[in-house]
A and B are shown apart, each in its own frame.
Chain A
Amino acid sequence: MPIDKDKIKHTAKLARISLDEDKIENLSKDLSNIFNFIEKLSKINTDKVSPLTSILNYSLRTREDKVTDGGIRDKILENSPNKNEEFFIVPKVIE
């Protein structure tokens, strides 16, 4: 199934990845091939099957409502490329 350039551009926007025009041609080829490969699944009848919801047959485990974390601002901000003592800093969104 061909994945055309417009679909790729749209998907890249959703994924917040910018693509160079010259790369899109190759990507289109690659992705089309991959999707051809994946298309195999359409051959199989899954009408009576439920999708797998979890590999494990257990139920979600819960924890107590206690404050056991936080208060580590320095650690949290330490690795950020742009920050001050209190906040993460990012470029503005254009509204």
Chain B
Amino acid sequence: MSEDKSKFLINGTQGKWEVVIGLEVHAQVSSKSKLFSGSSTTFGADPNTQVSLVDSAFPGMLPVINKYCVEQAVKTGLGINARINSHSIFDRKNYFYADLPQGYQISQFKNPIVGEGEIMLDLKTGTKKIGIERLHLEQDAGKSIHDLDPNNTFVDLNRSGIALMEIVSKPDLRSPEEVNAYVKKLRSIMRYLGTCDGNMQEGSLRADVNVSVRKEGDKKLGTRCEIKNVNSIKFMQMAIEYEAKRQVELIESGESIAQETRLFDTKKNETRSMRSKEDAHDYRYFPDPDLLPLNLDEGLIEKIKKNLPELPDQKKDRFIKDYSLSPYEANVLVSEKEVSDFFEEVIKTADKKLATNWIIGDLFASLNEKNIPISDSPIKAKEMASLVNSISSGLISGRAAKEVFEVMKDAGGDPIKIIEKKGLKQKSDPKELEALIDKILEENKEKVSQYKSGKDKLFGFFVGQTMKVSGGTANPQLVNNILKNKLK
């Protein structure tokens, strides 16, 4: 079985299969306190220290909704061009589990706060629109720890009640590549808006992945399986590939797909069925009688709309138009708000083209190697601008700049000082260079005559010598011109 690379298809024994993917992303709202209680939401606290009586469902406890969480859901909805529902209802989703103290989760079922929307993806093959079905607010569950004791499970309710936005896509995704782009874009939008920090290692963003397959060209949807709680894009992609192949294999051998919930085993890199009880999922949704319907003021929605920051797509268009960047460059620079902020700070005083190349090239390479975000970069925006300017002004050569960068990438610092310390100032005085070159030509008379009689390659030798003698600081352009003149 192999994969056709131009369009993501599974090559089965009976033909080509298309993979249909829908994602339910759970994004933790960037609030200080929980959705229905006043407990803190910070990551990494000692077990059960961020738990209130409401969170642990003591008798007589009641929920009160966090205004900020409502606003972030509206903001996110506006950021994905979705319809905001001014009337929405909270429902109880009833089931039993140790990390669900109430015996139900407060969620939204039939009347979510946000309706249909869309996200544009930039893929290698062009742009693609992915439809969003809805976005709703719900409580997160606590954590069950199974490996601290052979017979028992330990329960930590710190996470119980934290606000999540569940964003449900339409089944418009067709490949692991698209899933990658989708999650990254969604994450970027939320980080731009400040509604979710998108930190997947801390669990701020995770997804349930719905996968089904159908024969290429078929319109009908196949039976889907849901792979729950995948917390990295890489795992999502691996899970999709494994699951799609599994389903194709099953169908081609005459069996049908059982609609079920599965887990992605990150050690074995395969999906397996959650051996759950047959009737596990009759959630018996009904409107939560402890909460009234949520009615949003039109004025509130307008106010939020007016105060929305510039979103990635708008910024990208602006970068292309105002800064003459290519779509690829613009894309890279707007992927993270911190990067685009950095870039715009740099180009306040530095050349756009040069700055773009240095940021996307050398800076990113260094940051990737150190695995740090741009906000932790040892090189600050002002210093980057200064470095770029020292090249544009001719103060140093491009080559020297690389040397300066090597220092700055680890230790930061003022490039001008580094240039001085290392004596990297470009020598651009023609008289000085002429004198230097004269000396070299003088010392290499034989090579000069060899060059003059046709050995063109020796030009490089003279250039090299000039560079060596000048400690690499001779202005390459001038050196070229002078040498050409003198070797005529």
Interface residues of A (CB under 8 A from B): 10, 13-14, 16, 53-54, 56, 58-73, 75-77, 82, 84, 86-93, 95
Q: Which A residues lie within 8 Å of B145 (CB)?
A: 87
B70 to chain A, nearest CB (A): 6
Whether B65 sits at the interface, judged by CB under 8 Å, is yes
Q: When A14-B282, A69-B38 are in contact, do A90 and B51 touch as well, CB less than 8 Å?
A: no
A-B contact sample (13 more), CB < 8 A, given A54-B287, A63-B38, A89-B154:
A16-B96, A62-B70, A65-B68, A65-B69, A72-B52, A73-B48, A77-B48, A88-B48, A88-B157, A90-B152, A93-B97, A93-B98, A95-B275
Q: Which A residues lie within 8 Å of B54 (CB)?
A: 69
A32 to chain B, nearest CB (A): 21
A5 to chain B, nearest CB (A): 16
Considering only residues 439-456 of chain B, those with a C-beta below 8 Å from chain A are none
Cα(A69)–Cα(B58), bound, Å: 14
Interface string of B139-179 (1 = CB under 8 A from A): 00000111001011111110000000000000000000000
24 pairs, A vs B, C-beta closer than 8 Å: A16-B96, A54-B293, A61-B65, A62-B70, A63-B38, A64-B66, A65-B32, A66-B33, A66-B38, A69-B38, A70-B50, A70-B52, A72-B53, A76-B53, A77-B48, A82-B152, A87-B47, A87-B145, A87-B156, A89-B154, A90-B152, A91-B152, A93-B98, A95-B274
Q: When A87-B156, A88-B155 are in contact, do A65 and B292 touch as well, CB less than 8 Å?
A: no
Q: Which B residues lie within 8 Å of A77 (CB)?
A: 48
B38 to chain A, nearest CB (A): 4
Interface string of B30-68 (1 = CB under 8 A from A): 011100011110000011111111111000000011111
Contact across chains for A59 and B38 when beta carbons are under 8 A apart:
no
Contact across chains for A90 and B155 when beta carbons are under 8 A apart:
yes
Q: Which B residues lie within 8 Å of A63 (CB)?
A: 38, 64-67
Q: Which A residues lie within 8 Å of B56 (CB)?
A: 76
B158, closest chain A residue (CB): A70
Interface residues of B (CB under 8 A from A): 31-33, 37-40, 46-56, 64-70, 89, 96-98, 144-146, 149, 151-157, 274-275, 277, 279, 282, 284, 287, 291-295
Q: When A66-B32, A87-B155, A92-B153 are in contact, do A71 and B47 touch as well, CB less than 8 Å?
A: no
Q: Which A residues lie within 8 Å of B149 (CB)?
A: 89
A68 to chain B, nearest CB (A): 4
Q: Which A residues lie within 8 Å of B46 (CB)?
A: 73, 86
B246 to chain A, nearest CB (A): 20
Contact across chains for B48 and A86 when beta carbons are under 8 A apart:
yes
Q: Which A residues lie within 8 Å of B293 (CB)?
A: 53-54, 59-60
Main secondary structure of the interface of A (DSSP, over half): loop
Q: Which A residues lie within 8 Å of B31 (CB)?
A: 65
Q: Which B residues lie within 8 Å of A84 (CB)?
A: 154
B289, closest chain A residue (CB): A54
Given B51, B97, B279, B287, which contacts A73 in the complex, CB threshold below 8 Å?
A: B51
Cα(A90)–Cα(B153), bound, Å: 5
Contact across chains for B295 and A59 when beta carbons are under 8 A apart:
yes
Contact across chains for B33 and A54 when beta carbons are under 8 A apart:
no
B40, closest chain A residue (CB): A67
A79, closest chain B residue (CB): B58
Which 4 residue pairs of A and B lie closest in terms of their CB atoms, listed nearest first?
Answer: A65-B68, A68-B38, A70-B39, A69-B38
A68, closest chain B residue (CB): B38
A64 to chain B, nearest CB (A): 6
Q: When A60-B65, A60-B295, A87-B145 are in contact, do A67 and B151 touch as well, CB less than 8 Å?
A: no
Contact across chains for A73 and B49 when beta carbons are under 8 A apart:
yes
Cα(A35)–Cα(B112), bound, Å: 33
Q: Which A residues lie within 8 Å of B97 (CB)?
A: 93
Contact across chains for A53 and B294 when beta carbons are under 8 A apart:
no
Cα(A18)–Cα(B274), bound, Å: 23
Cα(A3)–Cα(B135), bound, Å: 38
Contact across chains for B70 and A53 when beta carbons are under 8 A apart:
no
Contact across chains for B284 and A14 when beta carbons are under 8 A apart:
yes
Q: Which A residues lie within 8 Å of B49 (CB)?
A: 70-71, 73
Contact across chains for B66 and A62 when beta carbons are under 8 A apart:
yes
Contact across chains for B294 and A59 when beta carbons are under 8 A apart:
yes
Contact across chains for A86 and B47 when beta carbons are under 8 A apart:
yes
Q: When A14-B279, A62-B66, A89-B153 are in contact, do A69 and B52 touch as well, CB less than 8 Å?
A: yes
